[in-house]
């Protein structure tokens, strides 16, 4: 639609966007989302968790977001604010390149007859649980230009949404926390939010926006267990501090073993008890627990 606007109208839009940037303002009407629940496949229709909310936002608002996102991304790249392990939202990086990096890491371990252990962390409702004031604090510490910081503050605060299901619409609700689903800026802001994630010793991290993999190698499987357990504890503390929640039911874990183990290697037997992956800050005795580690020897497959 915007492509077919007259030159005069586009000129007025340019004046409007420049004025908004000078003021550090984001109009309230562009922050009202129309949420349409889309049912997930093979899920019960009477469960609210069986629907994926899709937010429909103003076209002009999304265009203005792209302008702000381009300036924010340019600043982030110039200042090298994202860690080198983050492959999301970076030019000449992709999921394929991250997978190649992981594959190369495991292949190098094969050459030295090492086991490679991996834990795949899944953040539960990652964008919805972002702590807005914590994000603004990080943006301030990164010393963003004032006009970008004020515009992002206006973008994040005072958001609302209305749920539309079939021919019914509910009353508007405010969004006290979280990044708006479907917003152009959300992925960049989330990558910035977790850019200070600690790097546990003797491990490698592989990130793609909100997806996190922890890798380590050793000739001994018990060393891998110790390293991965310590690494998950460190990251659990970090996520808890910044009000993010790891979904332990969707967290994956496995070990790649060399076809022939070296003499000083002691593979984990199939019937051994794995180390458990739980939130170390949770004291609830009824909290479900998921094993962090289970060995698979490729020579037996």
Question: Quick count: other Cβ atoms within 10 Å of Cβ 107?
Answer: 11
Q: How far is CA 239 from CA 62, 134, 197, 234, 257, in A?
A: 29, 12, 9, 9, 30
Question: Quick count: other Cβ atoms within 10 Å of Cβ 90?
Answer: 16
pLDDT of residue 14: 92
Residues of the chain short of pLDDT 50, as ranges, are 262-301
E-only strand ranges, the chain: 32-39, 51-56, 115-121, 160-165, 168-169, 173-174, 204-208, 211-218, 252-256, 276-277, 290-291, 295-296
pLDDT of residue 292: 38
If you count them, how many residues does the chain have? 301
pLDDT of residue 146: 94
Report the predicted TM-score, pTM, of the whole model to 2 decimal places.
0.78
Report DSSP state, residue 234. H
Helix (H, G, I), strand (E, B) or coil at 112: coil
Question: Tokens 């914590």 correspond to what residue?
Answer: 134
d(CA 137, CA 114): 42
- The percent of the chain in helix, strand and coil, each rounded to the nearest 5, is 40, 20, 40
d(CA 30, CA 26): 7
Report DSSP state, residue 158. S
Specify whether the CB–CB gap between 218 and 227 falls below 8 A.
yes
């Amino acid at each position: 639609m915007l492509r077919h606007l007259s030159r005069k109208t586009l000129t007025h839009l340019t004046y409007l966007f420049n004025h908004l940037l000078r003021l550090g303002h984001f109009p309230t009407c562009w922050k009202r989302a129309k949420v349409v629940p889309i049912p997930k496949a093979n899920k019960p229709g009477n469960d609210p968790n069986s629907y994926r909310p899709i937010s429909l936002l103003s076209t002009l608002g999304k265009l203005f977001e792209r302008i702000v996102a381009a300036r924010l991304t340019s600043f982030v790249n110039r200042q090298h604010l994202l860690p080198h392990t983050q492959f999301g939202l970076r030019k000449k990086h992709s999921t394929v390149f991250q997978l190649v990096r992981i594959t190369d890491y495991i292949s190098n371990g094969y050459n030295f007859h090492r086991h490679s252990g991996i834990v795949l962390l899944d953040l539960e409702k990652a964008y919805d649980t972002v702590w807005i004031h914590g994000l603004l604090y990080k943006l301030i510490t990164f010393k963003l230009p004032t006009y970008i910081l004020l515009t992002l503050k206006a973008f994040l605060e005072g958001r609302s949404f209305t749920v539309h299901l079939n021919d019914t619409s509910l009353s508007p609700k405010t969004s006290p926390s979280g990044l708006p689903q479907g917003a152009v800026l959300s992925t960049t802001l989330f990558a910035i939010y977790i850019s200070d994630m600690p790097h546990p010793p003797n491990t490698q991290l592989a990130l793609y926006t909100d997806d996190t993999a922890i890798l380590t190698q050793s000739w001994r499987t018990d060393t891998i267990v110790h390293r991965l357990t310590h690494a998950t504890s460190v990251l659990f503390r970090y996520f808890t501090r910044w009000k993010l929640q790891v979904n332990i039911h969707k967290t994956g874990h496995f070990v790649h073993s060399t076809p022939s183990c070296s003499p000083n290697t002691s593979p984990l037997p199939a019937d051994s008890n794995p180390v458990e992956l739980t939130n170390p800050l949770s004291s609830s005795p009824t909290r479900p627990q998921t094993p962090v580690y289970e060995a698979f020897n490729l020579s037996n497959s």
